[in-house]
Amino acid sequence: MRFHRPRPLSTTPTVSVVVPCYRYGHFLPDAVASALDQPGVDVEVIVVDDASPDDSADVARALAAADPRVRVLVHEQNRGHIRTYNDGLALARGDYVSLLSADDLLTPGALTRAAALFEAHPGVGLVYGYARSFQETVPVADPRVRSWSVYPGRQWLGLATRRGRCFISSPEAVVRRELLADRGYDPRLPHSADFAMWLRAAARWDVARVNGPVQAWYRVHDANMHLTTYAGWLTDLQERHRTFELFFTEEVAGLAGLQAQWPVARRALGREAARRALAARRDGRAEEAAAYRAFARDLQPTSERSLAWRLEALAGTRDPLPAAAALRFAGRAGHHVRWRYERRYGT
């Protein structure tokens, strides 16, 4: 990875923002307004309503009538979120493409900053930044860019596999439209199709990040899909495993050297499952702990032979060994350091 000094945008590229919507008509005006508030780039917004039973389609049509940069596609029948994403992406005509859920927001100039990085580095296929969560009031974003990070795609891919997870949430990501030329989101991965796309991008393109500003706001509310349909860390682990499995068995079959990363990803997922099993057992959630342990054994039988697992097994629950307590403290401290680093540099 190399850091680069940010350069101002000297061209006027086009950016397509696809806004999938299902029963989020009350959020839609703010989402569309945030996508249009992007100086220096030509923006088209494509709202795809998935047969919402509320007034979402009417709200979308009103927004399109008020601004010629907004187009609307309304499904006659509900087709699910992946089909909704792909129908919108198929209509995109911009040089770069972003997917913005109707309940999320882009920060002012986010697409401008991403486009400037793309224009300066033609080998980059995916640009991301930082998406911060909010609930009620939208915070004020600082637009200052500290630096650009540009990773060779395979280096970024190696980081993702060694940690067994994705570093990106959907609203902060922008891709070159060429990445979507062959296909969009994989319907076999309803929980993690975006992660699969980022892996696909890293296999063939460089990956870059805008460091410093918040690029998007991720709205947290009771109807978030990750809190309802796909809730739970075990589900998340299972879906990440499925994503890696499809990627390494289908996507990179003809790319030399990448297959060796598949066992690395499995080990990372197994270690995380083992850690979560220990935490569940300490909290008295025996059934959940057993499910994590079964998942860890399937992926990486040595997960339960680790030092952390052996100390915890010896310690019991009432009179933990000092070494086990120290290890847990070190784990929490390490997690905090990693979180701070990831917040600043994105990996």
Q: What is the pLDDT of residues 273-331, one digit of tens each?
A: 888 888 888 888 989 988 998 898 888 766 555 645 555 554 444 444 455 566 566 66
* Per-position DSSP letters for 20-82, written without gaps between them: EESS-TTTHHHHHHHHH--TTSEEEEEEEE---SSSHHHHHHHHHHH-TTEEEEE-SS---HH
Top pLDDT among 49 and 256 is at: 49
Average pLDDT, the chain: 88
Residue 102 tokens read as: 């109707």
Top pLDDT among 96 and 137 is at: 96
Residue at token pair 């029948």: 77
For the chain, what percent of residues have pLDDT higher than 90? 66
The residue type at 110: A
Please give the CATH superfamily to which domain 2-227 belongs.
Spore Coat Polysaccharide Biosynthesis Protein SpsA; Chain A (3.90.550.10)
With contact defined as beta carbons under 8 Å apart, do 45 and 70 qualify?
yes
**How many angstroms separate the CA atoms of 202 and 65, rounded?**
38
Q: Where are the domains of the chain?
A: 2-227, 260-345
Flag whether pLDDT at 212 surpasses 90: yes
With contact defined as beta carbons under 8 Å apart, do 125 and 206 qualify?
yes
Residues in the chain: 347
Confidence at 146, pLDDT banded by 50, 70, 90? very high
Flag whether pLDDT at 20 surpasses 50: yes
Top pLDDT among 102 and 319 is at: 102
Helix (H) or strand (E) holding 226: none
Mean pLDDT for 267-274 is: 89
With contact defined as beta carbons under 8 Å apart, do 210 and 127 qualify?
yes
Q: In this predicted structure, what is the pLDDT of residue 319?
A: 45
Q: Minimum mean pLDDT among 84-98, 238-252, 269-283: which range?
A: 269-283
Flag whether pLDDT at 332 surpasses 70: no
Q: What is the pTM of this model?
A: 0.88
